[in-house]
Amino acid sequence: MVATEKDPREEVIQAWYMDDSDEDQRLPHHREPKEFVSLDQLTELGVLSWRLDADNYETDEGLKKIREERGYSYMDFCEVSPEKLPNYEEKIKSFFEEHLHTDEEIRYTVAGSGYFDVRDRNERWIRVWLKKGGLIVLPAGIYHRFTLDTDNYIKAMRLFVGDPVWTPFNRPHDHLPARQEYVKAFVHKETGDHAVDAAA
Ligand SMILES: CSCCC(=O)/C(O)=C/O
Ligand SMILES: [Fe+2]
């Protein structure tokens, strides 16, 4: 892609640093002034992203290629809304608890939208807004959480390598190998000639 062309992913995936307010978790929570985070910055944290054709996911060659290359053999759908999700209040509360998984969390929005919040290297929350057509991979070991936005609806495809394990490990779970590997690969990694870490 030429530098002046807009990245098509940005139409369905946007990210920004969050404010510190306790208002409704479904609000955007932009800082003042707004502080956007690029998809390249997300990649630096291990968060990968694609834009796909959500109206044709059954036949989409782009999705097929990602699944083949990354070994995503398992697929199902998770619909989150007050009407569709059993035990909605309990589930939405647990999705918004800061947690990690010992495997990647792969979510592809085929309808609606929602916020996946991830911690950066300095423990600041980045809000990642995933709309229809956006696919993200959160790496194993990254602390994150999920909430609906004010439209109150998402239908997400969930992908996994082999039999799925959805277990959330609520923070703190720093001793888990998945967390230690994440920290080594993305928090304490060498960038240029100096190490960047949370204490910097
Ligand atoms: C839209 S998928 C529901 C959220 C979820 O599965 C999860 O693990 C969030 O971290
Ligand atoms: Fe999760």
Residue 191 has pLDDT above 90, yes or no: no
How confident is the model over 102-146, as pLDDT tens digits? 999 999 999 999 999 999 999 999 999 999 999 999 999 999 999
Å from CA of 67 to ligand 1 middle: 19
Give CA–CA dist 100/70, Å, rounded: 20
Least reliable range by pLDDT among 100-109, 152-161, 164-173, 190-199: 190-199
Give CA–CA dist 153/191, Å, rounded: 38
In this prediction, residues 162-171 reach a mean pLDDT of 98
Residue 20 has pLDDT above 60, yes or no: yes
Task: Supply the pLDDT for residue 4.
Answer: 76
Whether the CB of 176 sits within 6 Å of ligand 1: no
User: What share of the chain in percent tops pLDDT 90?
Assistant: 92
Q: What is the ipTM of this complex?
A: 0.96
Task: Supply the pLDDT for residue 123.
Answer: 98
Give the strand pairing for 144-148 and 125-131. Answer: unpaired
Sign, Cα dihedral of 104, 129, 57, 47: negative
135 in Cβ contact with 70 (< 8 Å):
no
Q: How many CA atoms lie within 13 A of 187 on its CB side?
A: 23
How confident is the model over 87-104, as pLDDT tens digits? 999 999 999 999 999 999
Backbone phi, then psi, for 42, in 5-degree steps? Answer: -65, -40
Å from CA of 42 to ligand 2 middle: 16
What pTM did the predictor assign? 0.94
Give CA–CA dist 130/160, Å, rounded: 18
Which atom of ligand 1 is least distant from the CA of 166?
Answer: 8
Task: Supply the pLDDT for residue 102.
Answer: 98
Q: Whose CA is nearest to atom 8 of ligand 1?
A: 95
Give the strand pairing for 125-131 and 105-119. Answer: antiparallel
Å from CA of 9 to ligand 1 middle: 20
127 in Cβ contact with 29 (< 8 Å):
yes
